[in-house]
Amino acid sequence: MAKLRFERLERQSPTGWTVIGLLILLLAVGLGAALYMEEHGHIVTGMNNQIVWGLPHVFAVFLIVAASGALNVASLSSVFNRAVYKPYGRLSGILAVTLLVGGLAVLVLDLGRPERLLVAMTSYNFRSIFAWNIFLYSGFALIVGAYLFSMMDRRASQAAWVGKTMGLIAFVWRLVLTTGTGSIFGFLAARAAYYGAIMAPLFIAASFLYGLAFMVLVLVAVGRETGREMMTEEVADRFRGLLSIFSLSLLYFTIVHYLTKFYAGGQQGVVVFVLRDGGVYTLVFWLGQILCGTLLPLALLAWGRNSASARRALPLASILFLIGGLAQLYVTIIGGQAYPLELFPGVGVSSSFFDGVVANYRPSLPELLLGVSGVALALLLTTLAVRLMPFLPTVQTAES
């Protein structure tokens, strides 16, 4: 086995500097949008009394879920003894942290009163899943930091049990974290589109897919900057297989989710709303999540497996998976709020408080800019990390 070494990103092309400048610009514009919403209130957004989680929450949950899945490559190496993934363990860990930071930054700035975060961090209601998530998110960052130390410190890396133990702890913690994120929605019994235990495994499957898609795109971008391929043919082929499996798993849990609700008494209405009568939400579901985010990338991966265009198919499929992920969370989070609350199932209710009325929501530009700035922050932090510390492998192995 060739000796594995790591290096920093020394070379930066003009294109690379342009991308960094664009990320900084997006981050600045996003902060400006947050200040604008803070100054004028949420009346300048598309949110209202019915839709209280808007487009920024879609981006925030998307990044947090992807952060958990980004650590999957490191887990495959240390926990499941797949040596072929070992060169990517460090990059996998730092990407998980930066995606989490990006998602939490959007979440905090979208609260309306970000200074009240101190209250959430010091006063806990342990019957609320939100209180548990404070520990899950901060604990994830600390554990991944310790996991990275075990991989990068010379003495710690020589003791195999240290890396394996930290990898196992990180693997279990991220499963619990994603379960907690999915349970935010699964525990809301009043929302017919959310309520259900299937939300936890559905979010876990989504995290595997989104995190690996981000990992592939980062490796492709770094490869273009360094002028060499960051993925061997074997690794690229394995990533294609994993992306396909994760995508099919997510599709399976989505089907089970809607079939269960259609079978359950009093919940057929929300299924019909999403799949047929939901207007923009139905359109985003079928065109965004199913066609663009599932069928097209799967077809690309299947077609590229035995063709010369396999290298180009992998990043393109990853982009489509991420677009589909945003579409899925848009339908789940916003569409789930738009569907009327059924406080008295089977009983006709009429009042002046929007009973039985589909809530109206149109995302505003500040919301979009804030959400995109979270992605920009995560990618900018990743860029700085690979430039300051040795996260990039210089010698790859083909042994598994």
Question: Is 121 among the domain residues?
Answer: yes
- CATH number of residue 63's parent domain: 1.20.1630.10
> 68-91 in b/e burial notation, b at 16+ Cβ within 10 A?
bbbbbbbbbbbbeeeebbbbbbbb
Q: What is the pLDDT of residues 161-182, one digit of tens each?
A: 777 888 899 999 999 999 988 9
- Higher per-residue pLDDT: 245 or 151: 245
Q: Give the angle 68-247-287 at the CA atoms, nearest 5°.
A: 110
The count of residues in the chain is: 400
Q: Which of 100, 22, 106 is nearest to 68 (CA)?
A: 100
C-beta separation of 207 from 178 below 8 A? yes
Q: Is residue 2 part of a domain?
A: no
DSSP classification of residue 187: T
* Between 172 and 193, residue with greater pLDDT: 172
Asked whether 337 and 53 are in contact (CB, 8 A), the reply is yes
pLDDT, mean of residues 244-254: 96
- How many separate domains does the chain show? 1
396, burial (CB in 10 Å: exposed 0-12, middle 13-18, buried 19+): middle
Mean pLDDT score, 80-89: 88
**Encoded amino acid at 207, one letter:** S
pLDDT at 400: 39
- Helix, strand, coil percentages in the chain from 3-state DSSP, rounded to 5: 75, 0, 25
Distances (CA, A) of 393 to 41, 86, 230, 270, 349: 47, 9, 8, 48, 63
Judged by DSSP in three states, 392 sits in strand
3 state DSSP class of 397: coil
Q: How far, rounded to the nearest angstrom, does the alpha carbon of residue 372 sit from its chain's CA centroid? A: 13
Do 257 and 196 contact (CB within 8 A), yes or no?
yes
Question: 61: which 2 tokens?
Answer: 């949950």
Residue 148 structural domain? 12-231+253-343+353-362+371-379
pLDDT in tens, 292-347: 999 999 999 988 655 556 678 899 999 999 999 999 999 999 999 998 877 666 66
User: Considering the domain boundaries, does residue 123 fall inside one?
Assistant: yes
Does any domain span residue 26? yes
The predicted-structure confidence for 208-248, as pLDDT tens digits, reads as follows: 999 999 999 999 999 888 888 888 888 888 999 999 999 99
CA-closest candidate to residue 310, choices 243, 379, 248: 243
Residue 3 CA to residue 247 CA, distance in Å, equals 34
238 within some domain: no
Q: Look up the pTM and report it.
A: 0.91
Greater pLDDT, 95 or 14: 95
Token pair of 289 as six digits: 């999540």
Residue 71 C-beta-side C-alpha neighbours within 13 Å:
35
In a domain, 397, yes or no: no
Total Cβ atoms within 10 A of residue 35: 12
Rounded Cα–Cα distance for residues 212 and 226 (Å): 21
293-303 b/e (C-beta count within 10 Å ≥ 16 → b): bbebbbebbee
At residue 396 the predicted structure's pLDDT band, cuts being 50, 70 and 90, is very low
Query: Is residue 389 a part of any domain in this protein?
Result: no
Given a contact cutoff of 8 angstroms between Cβ atoms, the answer to whether 53 and 333 are in contact is yes
Distance of CA 214 to the CA centre of its chain: 9
Choose between 17 and 121: higher pLDDT: 17
Asked, for residue 102, whether it belongs to a domain, the answer is yes
Whether residue 397 has pLDDT greater than 60:
no
Structure tokens that stand for 202 in this block:
């559905």
62-71, 87-96, 116-125: least confidently modelled range? 116-125
Cα–Cα distance between 206 and 146 in angstroms, integer?
A: 25
Amino acid 164: pLDDT: 84
Q: Is the pLDDT of residue 114 over 80?
A: no
Residue 66 is predicted with a pLDDT of: 96
